[in-house]
Amino acid sequence: MNINDARESGIDFLVKRDDLRICRSGEGESLDGADLQPGQVQLRIEKFALTANNITYAVFGDRMGYWNFFPAEAGWGRVPVWGFGRVVHSLSDRIAIGERFYGFYPASSHLTVEAGATGAGFVDLTAHRRALPDVYNQYARTSTDVAYDEDHENVQMILRPLFMTSFLLADFLQDNNFFGSRLAILSSASSKTAYGTAFLLSRMPRHPEVIGLTSPRNASFTESLGCYDRVVTYDQINSLPKDLPAVYVDMAGSGAARASVHQLFGGNLKHSATVGVTHWDEEALNVQLPGPAPSFFFAPSQVQKRTADWGPGGVNERFAEAWKAFRGPAAAWMDVREERGPDAVKRVYLDHLEGRADPRTGNVLSLVQGL
Ligand SMILES: NC(=O)c1ccc[n+]([C@@H]2O[C@H](COP(=O)([O-])OP(=O)(O)OC[C@H]3O[C@@H](n4cnc5c(N)ncnc54)[C@H](OP(=O)(O)O)[C@@H]3O)[C@@H](O)[C@H]2O)c1
């Protein structure tokens, strides 16, 4: 009753927790299913996406608990990713071998979970995950998931987890009447999360001018996305019209860029939202800045607020509508690159860590041999 794997053990991609530049592959779970306990299921992680967001999980691994999802040997971490897994062993009476699930996996070839039932899939009840946020513990069965579309699964894997934040962020700004701003300034404008946010903002009635801040090497790509009214490089922040009320939406987390925006706009900065740290090695120091104190954008709070406003299902319905409008245009420019094996995973991880990755590329990876 199992699908044969060529190897006896799976593969884990491991990152040194106190120096993210050091990484290697290591021996993963055993694959014969002999260790499985009743209720447990082993999934072969067929493919997963890797973007700067996964680097942020590693950067915040200790501070925000991302290393706790998939424990590794002491001093090392397994980077969480979004992807698709197929059941290869099952001691659950609700989950069959061969079924496929979308969800939060480690960058590994295999994962064993303790599958508790939900309507549309399962929730991992493994003891060390119970204290972690629910949203990361749920797995959707592709055969019944209304959001799943076989022809677009790579795009789903790469963009959907990011676009949910884009959707909630754009909605948060609109819900607050854009804080009375005439300018919405997004850093790391070339990132997929910023692009999704700009895409939605640019379609909203009476939206502020949408300004993308980016690095010189990503400026022409960012302009080509067509949803920023203006693209400005980090070294040109002082050219922005400082007399207009502005909101700063910070995906970069760069201390220098944030200080420049706050110092330029001062009291005209109406809100400063921290969303990401793509520029993780230039992370902001805790310095006193003019204007409002930067506040972390916590997406679940906006979900909670909108569930109260719109009723159960309201967020999902609106998100589905936004996603349908977004995925076509996004897929049109994205160059999806599928690669396999430990060397490819290491290279793509390091390219993202060091800021060398091409923003036009959507990376899809696998550590499973011989699929
Ligand atoms: N809080 C949340 O709920 C949430 C949810 C989703 C995403 N996010 C955050 O949003 C950010 C964007 O994620 P993404 O997956 O959309 O990114 P992505 O598409 O992979 O972003 C690529 C861009 O990020 C910048 N970048 C990436 N690595 C860099 C490095 N090492 N040094 C300098 N710049 C680098 C570059 O943009 P520029 O040249 O334009 O700066 C690059 O073109 C991440 O920090 C992520 O964690 C937060």
Averaged pLDDT, groups of 10, the chain, 371 residues long = 60 98 96 93 98 96 94 97 97 94 97 88 93 89 87 92 96 98 98 98 97 98 97 98 98 96 98 96 82 93 94 91 92 95 98 97 93 65
Contacts of 142 (CB under 8 A, 6+ apart): 84, 100, 101, 102, 148, 150, 153
Q: What confidence score (pLDDT) does residue 325 get?
A: 93
Cα-to-centroid distance, 40 and ligand 1 (Å) = 35
Tell me, in angstroms, the distance from the centre of ligand 1 to residue 312's CA: 31
Q: How far does the centroid of ligand 1 lie from the alpha carbon of residue 250, in Å?
A: 10
Tokens at residue 213, please?
Answer: 């801040």
Q: Which residue has the tokens 């890797």?
A: 50
Ligand 1 atom nearest the C-alpha of 168 is 3
The pLDDT tens digits for 74-88 are: 999 999 999 999 999
Distance 313 CA to ligand 1 centre (A): 29
CB–CB of 225/170 below 8 Å?
no
**Ligand 1 mean position to 302 CA, how many Å?**
21
The residue whose CA has the least distance to atom 46 of ligand 1 is 53
Q: What per-residue confidence (pLDDT) applies to 371?
A: 65
- Provide the strand spans (E) within the chain: 9-16, 23-30, 40-50, 76-77, 80-90, 100-106, 110-118, 121-124, 138-141, 183-186, 209-214, 230-233, 246-250, 269-274, 295-296, 335-340, 361-366
pLDDT at 302: 94
Strands (E), 150-223: 183-186, 209-214
- pLDDT at position 5 is 47
- Spatial distance between the Cα atoms of 207 and 128, rounded to a whole number of angstroms: 44
How far does the centroid of ligand 1 lie from the alpha carbon of residue 251, in Å?
6
Q: Which atom of ligand 1 is least distant from the CA of 162? A: 6
Cα–Cα distance for residue pair 258/264, rounded to 1 Å: 10
Q: Report d(CA 1, CA 246) in Å as an integer.
A: 60
Which residue's CA is the closest to the ligand 1 atom numbered 39? Answer: 215
Looking at residue 51, what is its pLDDT?
A: 98
Its pTM stands at 0.94
Q: What is the pLDDT of residue 7?
A: 47
pLDDT in tens, 6-43: 448 999 999 999 999 999 999 999 999 999 999 999 99
Distance CA 118, CA 73 (A): 31
| Model pLDDT for residues 97-146, shown as the tens digit of each residue | 999 999 999 999 999 999 997 778 999 999 999 888 888 999 999 998 87
The reported pLDDT for the residue numbered 133 is 84
What residues line ligand 1, using a CB cutoff of 6 Å? 51-53, 56, 162, 165, 188-193, 214-215, 218, 251-252, 275-279, 297, 299, 352-355, 359
Taking each continuous run of H as one helix and of E as one strand, the counts in the chain are 8, 17
